[in-house]
Amino acid sequence: MTAEDPTGPLGGHLDDDDYPAYTMGRAAEMLGTTPGFLRAIGEARLITPLRSEGGHRRYSRYQLRVAARARELVDQGTPVEAACRIIILEDQLEEARRLNDEYRRAAGPSGPPAAD
């Protein structure tokens, strides 16, 4: 097996942050939390796990990073629903900053014209 030609159960998904590779039990174990916590942040629509053919929840590495951030906030005393909202807002702010940077680069070195 090589990086260029991966084989095995994950195929070419070893570097894919969005591939749903982790079961609920394994995800909870990795995060040091309970399956109930993962269900709660799913109900708050912070993350939406994919489902296996058998209907079991599967989580990606990206989702685990988001869940870890939620757990960090909850461990600091933030209610689950508020933690989920904070993370959503943080993500929206990051995206707005990224778009703003793109617009600035596209405008060139002189930037947008000044308003009179």
Q: What pLDDT shows up at residue 70? A: 97
Q: What pLDDT shows up at residue 114? A: 61
- Residue among 27, 52, 30 nearest 39 (CA): 27
Residue identified by tokens 């109900």 is: 43
Average pLDDT, whole number, for the chain? 87
> Is it the case that residue 68 has pLDDT exceeding 70?
yes
Q: Each residue of 95-115: pLDDT tens digit?
A: 999 999 999 999 987 655 666
Q: Each residue of 23-51: pLDDT tens digit?
A: 999 999 999 999 999 999 999 999 999 99
